[in-house]
């Protein structure tokens, strides 16, 4: 994901967007895989699973490869917001429905990811 984020950043700079890639989050050792878990299980498993590595930027945009229930993005937003960062939203490569659910009218994007976190 870091390589893809760097490519996106490079593509925005000629348009006058000042952006840099700053991987300030890390997955805690033993956080486990999300495969096969439903929304509630994913949210519980991700709570406390991300660690802040360094000082977050004043404003940030989250980047992830796949969003299923939004639990990882929600936890990332919680951690960064708690550290004083303004989370503008998230960019994902693929949105996939959670196990046992159908895609929503928003193209499969979970409700938690359709608006900026508070």
Spatial contact of 61 and 88, defined as CB atoms under 8 Å apart:
yes
- Which whole number is the average pLDDT over 60-71? 83
Domain-by-domain residue ranges, the chain? 2-113
Distance CA 110, CA 97 (A): 8
Of the candidates 48, 63, 58, 49, the one whose C-alpha atom is nearest the C-alpha of residue 5 is: 63
| More reliable by pLDDT, 108 or 97 | 97
Mean pLDDT, residues 76-101: 84
The residue among 31 and 88 whose pLDDT is bigger is 88
Given a cut of 80, is residue 108 above it in pLDDT? no
| pLDDT, mean of residues 84-90 | 92
Q: Cα(3)–Cα(20) distance, rounded to whole angstroms? A: 12
pLDDT tens-digit series, residues 46-63? 667 788 998 888 999 998
Query: Does the predicted TM-score (pTM) go above 0.85?
Result: no
What would the mean pLDDT of 35-47 be, rounded to a whole number? 59
Give strand ranges (E) for 5-115.
Answer: 25-27, 50-52, 59-67, 86-95
């Amino acid at each position: 994901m870091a390589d893809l984020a760097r490519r996106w950043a490079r593509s925005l700079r000629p348009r006058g967007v000042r952006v840099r890639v700053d991987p300030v989050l890390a997955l805690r050792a033993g956080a486990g895989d999300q495969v096969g878990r439903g929304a509630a299980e994913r949210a519980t498993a991700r709570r406390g699973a991300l660690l802040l590595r360094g000082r977050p930027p004043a404003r940030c945009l989250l980047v992830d490869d796949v969003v299923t229930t939004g639990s990882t993005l929600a936890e990332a937003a919680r951690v960064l917001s708690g550290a004083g960062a303004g989370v503008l939203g998230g960019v994902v490569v693929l949105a996939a429905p959670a196990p046992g659910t159908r895609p929503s009218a928003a193209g499969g994007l979970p409700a938690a990811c359709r608006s900026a976190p508070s």
